[in-house]
Structures are given as structure tokens and as C-alpha cells.
Chains A and B, each alone.
Chain A
């Protein structure tokens, strides 16, 4: 990415504005961050020049300009309500734009499960049936994650797509882990960990996507002609 800060008052920008924007844009995706930096830099330059026109030094103007911006943490919260964070943008991108990139990984998971079943058959037939069932879940979840989810998203059912994508990915890895022959107590911990990881990753994304979708629906309802 090119330098987002301009050359005018660059010293003041690095000393005063950069610490503020670093906090305010923390975690935002690169596109969103670039947009915010562009505007904040222009705003800062205008504020410095206005201060200097009133007889203040560049340093004092810059200090006041940042003071007038208020809390960077509050701005960060507000920006995060409007924009996707870097992690959310990446998760959504993987889910919708590049779903097939994860296909080789799922194939590898399924093949390793088949190999494990064939090479290390359990003495009890029922246990092998369960392992085949888990294999089926992995294959089905992989197909849902790579084929169905992007289509559902494009149909406008965004929250459903995110929830389904997260659930299918969770199922792939959970089934892979519990199909092994490690002790059941360990499985529980791994599943709990997966629930936590996927919950943190997908639930806020689903909520944000749903809120933006609802806003669009309300706009369409209020302004049907546009």
C-alpha cells in the first residue's frame, strides 16, 4: 500500500495524527482503512492550516486538531459498526469469493479419514460405521461450504450463508477430530475449542451482515422506486 499520509505537514501527521488513526482504524480491512486515512489526513491538514491562520504554530495547531477529533477508541467502535474488520472481510471473502480454495483441504481431510478407516479398522463394526458416517458428514459439509454457501449468499440470504458456512466448516473439522481414536474426553475439549473459535469468527460477522441487510431492506421498503 502506498503511503497514506500526504507530504504537507508530514512531521505533524506522523507525530500527532498517526497515533490517533492507528487506534481508530485498528482491525479494519485495508480498503476501509485507506478510505478513512485519506479523509482524516485531509481533515488534519485543513485543521492545521486553519490554526496557523489564527497565529498558532504548526505544532500547537496539530495538537489542537487531534484534541478536536476526540476519542480514537470511540471512533474505532463507530468505524467497526460501519465497516467489516480485516478478519471479517477475509472470512467473508473465503466464504463467498474464493470458496474453492478450501476444497483441496477438505479433500485431503476426507482422504486421510478414508485411509485411517482402511488401514486402522476398528475391531467393532459399529465403530467403523460411525467413522464412515463422520466421513459422510465431512464430504457433505465440504460440498455445502464450497458450492452451496456462495450461491445462497448471491441469492441475498447473507446471514443464512454465513451461518451455514461457519457450521459446515465447524462440522468438517469436528468430525475429522472425533473420527480419530484418541480418548473421548479429549474430543470434548477440541469440540469446545472449535465452538469458541467459530463462534468468535462467524457470529459477529453474521450479525453485522444481517444488520446491513436489514438496513438495505428498510431502505427498499421506504423508497421502492429507487
Chain B
């Protein structure tokens, strides 16, 4: 299923649970979507960089297990944006569920 435009909010959600690097974010989204979402890992980085430019997340370098990686963390602004988008998503999904329910 292709849910265009939902990747940014999924990224914010994953990062709200802790700092992560790109590959770990991609794996977490895949694991939790159980293969339902048509998620291509190449689309992750443009989305990460765009969110960073908006100030919703910030990146920093960290070396772990001898590997140098760029980690991402949610900013205060990102936390507020995530809360707002969660509320919006619930409203939207409730509305769609009601429309799709048999009359």
C-alpha cells in the first residue's frame, strides 16, 4: 500500500522512541508495518534531510561498534509536530472508517 506523504510522520514517530541512524529507522518502519506499506529505503534519506531542514529533527555524528554513523534525534519542534500529526491522523482515519463502514 502506498500512503504518499506519510513517511515524515513515521520517521518522527520512530525517532520519538530514541535516537537512530538511517538504516535502523528504515528497519523499524518495515518491521512495524509488517510489509503492508510499500516503503522503499531510498526515499528515507530525502525525507530525513527535508525534516532536518524544517527543524523537526537534527542529526549528529556518533561512532558505535567501530562504525561512524549519522544519527537523528527529534527536536522539541518535532515533538510538537508529531503530536499535531497524530491527532490529525486519528481524525482522518476515524472519518474514513466511518465512510467505509456498511450503511
Contacts and interface: CB of A to CB of B under 8 A. Distances in A.
Nearest to A223: B77
Contact of A36 (B45, B67, B69): B45
A226 B50 CA distance: 19
B53 A212 contact: yes
Contacts, number: 72
Contacts of B49: 35-36, 79, 82-83
A82 B21 contact: no
Contact of A68 (B41, B45, B46): B41
A186 interface: no
A207 interface: no
A104 interface: no
Contacts of B55: 219, 226
A69 interface: yes
Interface stretch (A40-48, A106-114, A138-146, A189-197): A40-48
Task: Say which size band chain A's interface belongs to.
Answer: 20 to 34
B42 A46 contact: no
B43 A43 contact: no
A179 to B, nearest CB: 44
B76 to A, nearest CB: 7
B23 to A, nearest CB: 4
B12 interface: no
Interface of A: 20, 24, 35-36, 38-40, 42-43, 45-47, 50, 68-72, 74-75, 78-79, 81-83, 212, 215, 219, 222-223, 226
10 contacts: A42-B22, A43-B41, A68-B41, A70-B40, A75-B42, A75-B46, A79-B49, A81-B50, A82-B53, A219-B54
